[in-house]
Structure 1
Amino acid sequence: MSFDIADAAGADARREDLLSTLEVIEQQPLAERAAAYAALHDELARRLEAGPRDGSA
């Protein structure tokens, strides 16, 4: 597996997107915040399950 500048830039962009999403969630009332965190959890779990498998796990 190779790691290059494009990989690092993509990781930085995803991290910034996640941080922006978390900031928006934190500004919501508690009940809406809980639902938004649950939705974010579901989305991240789907991405993790759909991600590439390296066979070492």
Structure 2
Amino acid sequence: MTISENSTADGELVSALSVVEGQPLETRAEGYAKLYDDLRAQLEGGDLPARD
């Protein structure tokens, strides 16, 4: 990953976290779980089953 790609990824993560943090408390945990699953899938390089 190049520095430019890393900076873009960092910006996307910060943006995604901002969206989740802006949600009502009742739905925030679900948003964090989805973000976690997305990040894990990217890091592991595979398709993981989505949470229901």
- The TM-score by the shorter chain falls in which range? 0.7 to 0.9
Which runs of no fewer than 5 residues in structure 2 stay unpaired? Answer: 47-52
State the alpha-carbon separation in 1 of the partners of residues 38 and 26 from structure 2: 19
Which runs of no fewer than 5 residues in structure 1 stay unpaired? Answer: 52-57
Moved over 4 A (4+): none
State the alpha-carbon separation in 2 of the partners of residues 13 and 29 from structure 1: 27
TM-score by length of 1: 0.73
Q: CA RMSD in A?
A: 1.6
TM-score by length of 2: 0.79
Larger radius of gyration: 1
